[in-house]
Amino acid sequence: MRYVAFLRGINVGGNKLIKMDALAAAFTAAGFRNVKTYIASGNVIFESRTSNIDSLEKKAEKKLIETFGHNIAVVIFSLAELQALIESDVFTRITSQADAMLLVTFLKTNVKPAKLPIESKTENLKVFAMQDRVAFTVALRKKTGWFGFPNNFIEKQLGVGATTRQWRTLKKVVAVANAI
């Protein structure tokens, strides 16, 4: 089966700097096959016979700490799950995307929020939908001109580890994974 691992917090703000060839080598050394990385934010496409996601995540996290000395959270989805997310395209309901950033947050475990939407006035964002281990967020520009980023907010609100990607990045990762 083909999977995509999303790593949390590498190569951001000069922290946990990992070269993609070294990351691919670590995943290969962990026993994963046909490993390919996509952009430096920590997206790893690989194959494994194992279908237990929890086991795959633990194996990857163990190898990352052994190799790089950092605790790095890894969230893994099958390519089929990600393809289904893209096909469901919950963002089609968003009418204006010019001044909005569309974000997908991958959760370590499946949780149900008390109520949606979950909003952050400080970050100017709204988590408007959830599906399995994924939260969908629209972030609008703040007065500073920057977009809010939901990862820490979502982790705090839902009490679960997570990592976030832009919707367009997810679509590119899946396209690359399908092309292998």
Q: Is residue 12 part of a domain?
A: yes
Task: Verify that 47 and 96 share a domain, yes or no.
Answer: no
pLDDT at 93: 79
C-alpha closest to that of 34 among 22, 47, 15, 17: 47
Structure tokens at 29: 């050394």
Residue 61 to residue 58: CA distance in whole angstroms:
5
Domain end point (choices 80, 98, 115): 80
Query: Which own/partner pairs from 118-123 qualify as long-range (CB within 8 Å, at least 24 positions apart)?
Result: 118/154, 118/157, 120/148, 120/150, 120/153, 122/148, 123/148, 123/149, 123/150, 123/153
Condensed to tens digits (0 to 9), the pLDDT of residues 82-136 reads 999 999 989 987 766 678 899 999 999 999 877 999 999 999 999 999 998 999 9
Residues 95 and 73 in one domain: no
Q: Among residues 104, 87, 106, 2, which one has the least CA distance to residue 45?
A: 2
97 and 149 housed in the same domain: yes
User: Is residue 64 located within the same domain as residue 106?
Assistant: no
Q: Which CATH number is 47's domain given?
A: 3.30.70.1280
* DSSP three-state, residue 111: coil
Final residue belonging to a domain, choices 43, 64, 80: 80
Is 180 contained in some domain? no
70 and 44 in one domain?
yes
Residues 75 and 9 in one domain: yes
Tell whether 92 and 69 lie within a shared domain: no
Average pLDDT of the chain? Answer: 92
* Domains of the chain: total: 2
Tell me: do 35 and 94 sit in the same domain: no
Q: What is the pLDDT of residue 11?
A: 73
Q: Which residues pair with 36 in a beta bridge?
A: 45
Rounded distance between C-alpha atoms, residue 117 and residue 120, angstroms: 10
pLDDT confidence bin for 34, thresholds 50/70/90: very high
Print the domain residue range for 24.
2-80
The reply to whether 92 and 57 lie within a common domain is: no
Report the SS3 class of residue 25: helix
Does 172 map to a domain?
no
- Whether 163 and 92 map to the same domain: the answer is yes
75 and 146 in a common domain? no
Same domain, 76 and 97: no
Residue 137, C-beta contacts closer than 8 angstroms, at least 6 positions apart:
102, 103, 104, 105, 125, 126, 127, 128, 150, 154, 164
pLDDT at 167: 95
- Domain C-terminal end among 33, 55, 80: 80
